[in-house]
Amino acid sequence: MPTDGTFYAPIGYSVWWPLAGAAILVLCLGWFGWIWISTRAEPSAGVPGFIAPRNPETVRGKYVMLINSIEERHGTAAITGRAAHLELSLAVRTFVHEMTGIKTQRMTLAQLREHQLPLVADAVALFYPGEFAAHGGRGGHGENGGEPAVAGSAEAARNVVLSWR
């Protein structure tokens, strides 16, 4: 320190030091943001572990044949109208499960609509009167007081399978 009484102002900082500090702060915040974004759960409704079929046409063909078989067995009186509607419903629901991975086999009509599967929900709604018919008799040809014909229900099921994209 000089002893002659002269006052010297402190040496000023370079403008680069505050800029370097701000840059380090921005980098740290960016790093934390990147970690937070990259590690949070996906908001999609994807099905964990689901692998789409390699050849959807093969799956489609399998279910069309199954629907034709159900209709044919009903036509030969091997199964009742109620059993045919139950099998058609299960076939459509299992087809959707194979194509999407969504477990539709036990969904209610409202749940199918919530999952935005309107074509499937409409077909299942058509099957309901036949599935929940009070009698287990032959029926199923539309003559039993509102029970839908199996042929019409089978056509609705085929429509779901063939129009699936």
Instruction: Give the span between the Cα atoms of 50 and 106, in whole angstroms.
Output: 18
Instruction: Give the span between the Cα atoms of 123 and 109, in whole angstroms.
Output: 10
Instruction: Give the span between the Cα atoms of 20 and 24, in whole angstroms.
Output: 6
Buried-exposed string 135-145: b where 16+ CB fall within 10 A, e elsewhere: eeeebbeeebe
Residue-level pLDDT at 24 = 96
Residue-level pLDDT at 69 = 94
Residue-level pLDDT at 139 = 46
pLDDT tens-digit map of 77-108: 899 888 999 999 999 999 998 888 888 888 88
Instruction: Give the span between the Cα atoms of 121 and 115, in whole angstroms.
Output: 10
Question: Per the structure block, which two tokens stand in for 91?
Answer: 């076939």
Residue numbers of the chain with a pLDDT score lower than 70: 1-2, 42-50, 134-147
Residue-level pLDDT at 132 = 79
pLDDT tens-digit map of 128-137: 888 877 665 5
pTM exceeds 0.85? no
